Homo-oligomer: A and B are copies of this chain.
Amino acid sequence: MARHDKSATPLGFAAHDHTACQSRALATADQLCAARRVQFTPVRRRVLEILLESHEALGAYDVLARLNAEGLGSKPPVAYRALAFLVDQGFVHRIERLNAFIACADPSHDHSPAFMICRACGTVAEAHAQMPLGDSAARSGFQIEQTVIEAEGLCPDCQEVRTP
């Protein structure tokens, strides 16, 4: 899916030990599911594993194709239900701009995510952001429940090549 392959998948566009990313996220998910008394079933776990393979966002049908290839389900609701569970539990975030899903970079604590999306290679980095609408909301009396923050642009690697 990336137009720009890299040996080390980047987190925040920086090379890192991605195996650690994956195992840490899975371990956290295991712990949280146990603590919350919710079932981390094979389909749910496998979907999270699939999303953890890279720091790119996958569409629900991409995930479904993977599940299908592994005999874990072939119909859209299977993928959408697993994704909904993972989003509910905070293990996965939905990227509105892409109609796609990405594993959370740090599921161990609740947070409101923000993303930087490289339009060239598809890498998505999760970041922290201040509430950008706090002032406007306070002035108008709007009660914010959730804020989508998604920046699109070029990651450091992709700025080097010609992308007009």
**Bound-complex Cα distance A116 to B138 (A):** 11
**Contact present for A140 and B116 (CB under 8 Å):** yes
Contacts A133-B116, A136-B129; A142 near B97 (Cβ below 8 A): no
Q: Is A151 an interface residue (CB 8 A)?
A: yes
Chain A 121-159 interface residues, beta-carbon cutoff 8 Å to B: 125, 127-133, 136-137, 140-156, 159
The smallest beta-carbon distance between A148 and chain B, in angstroms, is 4
**Bound-complex Cα distance A75 to B125 (A):** 38
Q: Which residues of B contact A154 (CB under 8 A)?
A: 142-143, 145
**Contact present for A144 and B151 (CB under 8 Å):** yes
**Contact present for B146 and A125 (CB under 8 Å):** no
**Bound-complex Cα distance A131 to B96 (A):** 18
The smallest beta-carbon distance between A121 and chain B, in angstroms, is 12
The smallest beta-carbon distance between A18 and chain B, in angstroms, is 16
In which size bucket is the chain A interface?
A: 35 or more
Q: Is A38 an interface residue (CB 8 A)?
A: no
The smallest beta-carbon distance between A106 and chain B, in angstroms, is 14
Q: Which residues of A contact B (CB under 8 A)?
A: 12-14, 96-97, 114, 116, 118-119, 125, 127-133, 136-137, 140-156, 159
Question: Can you list 15 residue pairs at the A/B interface with Cβ under 8 Å?
Answer: A12-B136, A14-B140, A114-B136, A116-B136, A116-B137, A125-B140, A129-B133, A132-B132, A132-B149, A140-B155, A141-B156, A142-B154, A142-B155, A145-B153, A146-B153
